[in-house]
Amino acid sequence: MPRSVAPLTKDIVGLAGLFITSGTTHLVKPEVFEPLVPNSLPRRRELIYLSGVAELACAAGLLHPRTRRYAGWASAGLLLAILPGNVQMSANYGKRAQRRATPAARAAFAGTVARLPLQLPLIRTALRAAGR
């Protein structure tokens, strides 16, 4: 018996919108994301373009019922794959906050740290789209 398709809920539409926005930015202004790519990874610009295309593909897949399940799994995997970039961003802002020690630098660092746990609801939404 085939699995039923997860309904297109507001949170799934929101995740698709987030992917569309971020994916487009990856392709149009890749330099924004270069500091987020861990230094240990080669071909950083190509990885930025690849992740942008992956985000756009996930967004399209989430919005269509025939591909929502697969796109949900792909979206969860993508969110896990980019987590090191989010950690790198926090580390970068942490170093900057130590050097500058201004309220703005500390606030920016706090924002990047606070953003990390927000990945969990995004992953949960992706898994819900996958039918889990």
Q: What pTM was computed for the model?
A: 0.86
pLDDT in the model for residue 96: 87
Give residue-wise pLDDT tens across range 92-129: 889 988 888 889 888 989 998 998 999 999 999 999 99
Q: Determine which helix (DSSP H) or strand (DSSP E) holds 108, and give its type and residue range.
A: helix 103-115
pLDDT of residue 1: 34
Residues 6+ apart with CB under 8 A from 15: 59, 62, 75, 122, 125, 126, 129
Q: Which two tokens stand for residue 108?
A: 């920016």
Distance of CA 109 to the CA centre of its chain: 18
Distance, in Å, from the CA atom of 58 to the CA atom of 48, rounded to the nearest integer, reads 15
Here the tokens at position 52 are 């942008």
Q: Where are the domains of the chain?
A: 10-124
Spans in the chain with pLDDT lower than 50: 1
